[in-house]
Amino acid sequence: MSDKEQLYNLWKELYPKNTLEKLDAFLSENEQKSVSESKGDWYKDAVIYSLYVDLFNKDFSGLINKLDYLEDLGVNCLWLLPILDSPMRDAGFDIRNYDRIRANLLGLPDNFEKEEQVAVFGDFLKQAHARGIRVIFDVAINHTSDQNPWFREARKSEDNPYRDYYIWSKDTSLYKEARLLFKGIEDSNWEPLGDWNYFHRFFSFQPDLNYKNPEVLLAMSKNLLYWQSMGVDGFRADAIPYLWKEKGTTCENLPKTHVIVKFFRAVLDYIQPGSLLLAEACQKPKEVVKYMGNGDECHAAYHFPLMPMMFKAIAMGNNQPVRHTLSPEVTPDIPAIGQWLTFLRVHDELSLELVYVSEEDRKYIHDNYCLKPEWDFRVGEGVSARLSELLQRDERKIGLAYSLMLTITGSPVVYYGDEFGKFNDEAYYHEQIKLTGKDDTRFLVRGRIDWDKLENDLKDPENFHTRVYEIIKSLLNTRKEHNAFGRGNTKFLDVRDINGQQQNQILAYLRTTADENILVLNNLSDKPVEIQHPLPDNHTFVLNLSGFSYIEEKQTFLLKPYGFVWLGVL
């Protein structure tokens, strides 16, 4: 079936009573490009670096000046956290205009012309691509800012043409089964406005879009195509599980949500194949894999449950949390084109939502990592802290955590500043509370990079930030050189000490492709562990290591506390 035929079929599934005239008009305005082949599954070899442009280095000009730094670090894909026009009450996830970048990021006046945007952002894309760095960015497809022109029109009257772009009710018991996502911050999914209420799943200033209105689907598709035409390599689809709402349901992961995602994918492929569609679905893996469909929805998705389980494994000094999470009963197979994205930290908290952790796991992780009361997020549902803070500014633990994240499955995401052990930013936290009026502890994990201070710190080999930077840079560049990490199968191994006792504090696995085999050993504990060679009949050689040595006379491996090693296997 062609992409065009797919679009018509999906349209009829979503809007059976609607004529096809709207879709006909849309497709006639957006003709298919003559593309002989797609850009392929480049995302499987991606080392992704996530950043806020303004917090990283002021604007796109500043970001261009740091592209060499990022290339040298080992990065080959940038994930730009929200860059679109916004009142900035939710770090840019509250989008005011989908076809405009914030003026301050472009270094342009507020009334800039579209041609100026194309010139500035286009130059950035050209400079990044010249260094082999692809670029993706966030698009919040579930909701807008209450300052969005659509909503500003919608609120004027009940018969305004844009009224039906959003969800209105006088009865706030509608969708009562939908859970409150921002517990402790918002007290309802409905916000009063005059005699009516509008529905929202996130902040009250972020009204949800109404995809039962076909105009909404087409408008969002046009926005994606605009940026695709400029050369953006893909999109992170924010809050994807909540798109379609039905009475009597939780309004999450509904069948027609998947139809909408398939439509977006088919639109992008119809115009120009190869644009990454990344699902931000904070759900159990068995639900998340559905957002990859049969290879016809998103190309990739975050493995949310793996992140807290890596932290739990280090706190326990035991491999079972990770091994269980990646077992078939928890993590199903994904389509051949699909990919997991792994991460330790992103722009949000160390999330402990019950949708993918148990009450027991939540309490254990929270007790071990919420080291200060102000790090608490959503009444125990998460911990707001930078990686270096969570791991008590111990570069051994930071290196170990990265060893896990970079090697165990999928494509890794590095959160800006974590490569040098950036600390929580309390000044930025208090600044944002004043700006937004919301006490959102996630502001602690954001903040600006002081490049002058950092460059001075990195001149001192004994500085904490230098020690972390050298470890992470080495690991990222090694990771980028070996396709087995992004494309290989994962086989867990049991390892034993010299007395034959199984050592569960060692997380050991093989990453294998037809052309390459890599053995990874991670000591999750705070004690040294000596083990037998897991593959005594094979020749192994070191790709990267920390706190590891080979005891030749006994032919054993010694891993120091939080030590690890990556070994090529012949």
41 tagged catalytic: no
3-state secondary structure of 91: coil
Who's near 50: CB < 8 A, 6+ residues apart?
Answer: 78, 79, 81, 346, 347, 413, 414, 415, 416
Cα–Cα distance for residue pair 245/174, rounded to 1 Å: 10
455 tagged catalytic: no
Query: Which is the catalytic residue, given 191, 280, 353, 425?
Result: 280
Cα–Cα distance for residue pair 406/480, rounded to 1 Å: 10
At 177, list the tokens.
């089964």
Q: For residues 398 and 391, is the Cβ–Cβ distance under 8 A?
A: yes
Query: Which is the catalytic residue, given 238, 297, 381, 419?
Result: 238
Tokens 């929580």: give the residue: 424
Cα–Cα distance for residue pair 96/299, rounded to 1 Å: 27
Q: Which amino acid is residue 520, in one-letter code? A: V
Q: For residues 265 and 277, is the Cβ–Cβ distance under 8 A?
A: yes
3-state secondary structure of 452: helix
Rounded to 10 degrees, the C-alpha dihedral 88/92/93/94 comes to: 40
DSSP 31: P
What separation, in Å, do the N-terminal and C-terminal C-alpha atoms of the chain show? 43
Total length of the chain: 570
- Per-position b or e across 140-157, b if 16+ CB within 10 A of its CB: bbbbbbbbbebbeebbee
Q: For residues 366 and 383, is the Cβ–Cβ distance under 8 A?
A: yes
Residue 506 φ/ψ, nearest 5 degrees = -100, 125
What residues act catalytically?
238, 280
